[in-house]
Amino acid sequence: MTARTIAIVGAGIGGITAALALDAEGHSVTLIERRTGFSEVGAGLQLSPNASRVLADLGLSAALRRAADLPPQVTVRDLASARTLGGVLLGASLKERFGAPYYVIHRADLQTLLLDAVRSRAGIRLMVGREVTAIAETDTSVTLTLESGHGSRTDMFEADLAIGADGVRSRLRQHLDARPLQACGQAAWRALVPREAAPEEFQSDETGLWLGRGHHVVHYPIGRGQQINIVAVIPEKLGSEGWGRLGEPAVLRARLHGAAPPLAALLAIPDSWLVWSLVDRPAARPLARGRIALLGDAAHPILPFLAQGAALAIEDAAVIARTLRQAEVPAALDAYARERGARVRRVRDAARGNGRTYHAGGLTRLARNAVMSRMTPARLTERYAWLYGWTPDGRP
């Protein structure tokens, strides 16, 4: 296998995991990040077995066990009546079934453990405070233009190939696919509350999913059970989009005024919410060309209704590290793009489908509730075998 010099643009979860996976293959990796600090927003992340398996292979099992929580199951309720509709089994039985755990973790904790691993690897160079503003490609290399100090300094960086892990507003993506980003008229409101402040109904370790017409709420404990992460997805007017902006609690309460009393009490606790406008952009066409590849949200942002955006980025990292064992860079990246295309489409369609199911009204809602109530939690989990059973070695 040929060791290569690889530039990764963006040190989010996808970029950092790719750096670790490529370093493990013996490549020389430079991770370029425009931010100067790594203060991840206060929010949680679900890490399903298809993703935790990759991180375990990178030697992160012990660190994950220390930082993450293991919810025993997801309980699905009707948002207005609090009636239990069904459940999905997680915890020990899911770990046994798929050979890897389903974690929930504070984003900052995940980022810290990933960055600790990066700093311990001599083959990875982390450059912060550098924004990639342009990329040029020849038959044998790529050259990135890096700006720092608010554009006061420009450097050039040459590598054998570049990976754009630069998030949903990716600059590298524009090089491969210029179609614009589109908002989808929904926003995720996120907040953390101390667990001891939450009503009794929220003291268990379960993940809760509350389904209402046109909106839903998810919550789970993170930070070794000390905090509850809440995500509420509600419609928003197109044109009001933003990323990580402050949300007014009264707006959320008005939108979810029909919530059952215990949920309403939980939603009343946070003084401030951070709001993300959701985007549902088709995967880039192509995902890679020549010596440039895209990964994570840069390649395929998906709706968060299956909790798979970061998981897909982590899968991408494992696959690109494997395909780069091939001799020719363009052929290796082409193999990566072909392998990821079908998987990403399937996950994206499933996330969209979940959105429709979660937010259903009328007869569809009744049918959904009837189906769910007939299925055991173990059977519902089994419906996701294709997703959680994914392995990085090329098996489906």
Q: Is 167 near ligand FAD (CB under 6 A)?
A: yes
Residue 110 φ then ψ, to 5°: -65, -45
Q: Is 220 a catalytic residue?
A: yes
Q: Is 46 near ligand FAD (CB under 6 A)?
A: yes
- List, in order, residues 6 or more apart from 281 with CB less than 8 Å away: 168, 179, 181, 182, 300, 301
**CB nearer ligand FAD, residue 328 or residue 349:** 349
Q: Is 173 near ligand FAD (CB under 6 A)?
A: no
Residue 150 backbone class (left: φ over 0; alpha: ψ -120 to 50; beta: rest): left
* Contact map string, positions 12 to 31, toward ligand FAD, x by CB under 6 A: xxxx----------------
Secondary structure class of 144 (helix, strand, coil): strand
Q: Report the alpha-carbon distance of residue 215 to residue 373 in Å, rounded.
A: 20
Pick the catalytic residue: 102, 220, 336, 384? 220
Q: How many CA within 13 A on the CB side of residue 87? A: 15
SS3 content of the chain, % helix, strand, coil (to 5): 40, 30, 35
Q: Is 109 near ligand FAD (CB under 6 A)?
A: no
Q: What is residue 302's DSSP assignment?
A: -
Q: Is 308 near ligand FAD (CB under 6 A)?
A: yes
Q: Pick from 6, 21, 32, 319 the residue near ligand FAD by CB under 6 A.
A: 32
Q: Pick from 72, 290, 304, 377 the residue near ligand FAD by CB under 6 A.
A: 304
Q: Report the alpha-carbon distance of residue 353 to residue 124 in Å, rounded.
A: 39
CA 49 from chain center: how many Å?
13
Q: Pick from 2, 35, 268, 371 the residue near ligand FAD by CB under 6 A.
A: 35
Q: Is 9 near ligand FAD (CB under 6 A)?
A: yes
Sign, CA torsion 160/301/101/221: positive
Q: Is 164 near ligand FAD (CB under 6 A)?
A: no
Q: Pick from 110, 313, 360, 387 the residue near ligand FAD by CB under 6 A.
A: 313
Q: Pick from 33, 69, 160, 339 the residue near ligand FAD by CB under 6 A.
A: 33
Element of type H or E holding 346: helix 329-358
Sign, CA torsion 136/138/143/144: positive
Rg (CA), the chain: 21
Q: Is 231 near ligand FAD (CB under 6 A)?
A: yes
Stretch that binds ligand FAD, among 203-211, 296-304, 361-369, 381-389 (CB under 6 A): 296-304
Q: How far is the CB of 239 from ligand FAD (least distance, A)?
A: 19
Q: Is 350 near ligand FAD (CB under 6 A)?
A: no
Q: Are 302 and 258 in contact (CB under 8 A)?
A: no
Q: For residues 186-205, which are near ligand FAD according to CB under 6 A?
A: 188, 190
Q: Is 147 near ligand FAD (CB under 6 A)?
A: no
Stretch that binds ligand FAD, among 59-67, 173-181, 301-309, 375-383 (CB under 6 A): 301-309
Residues that bind ligand FAD (CB under 6 A): 9-15, 32-35, 45-46, 131-132, 165-167, 171, 188, 190, 231, 276, 296-298, 304, 307-311, 313
List, by residue number, the catalytic residues. Answer: 220
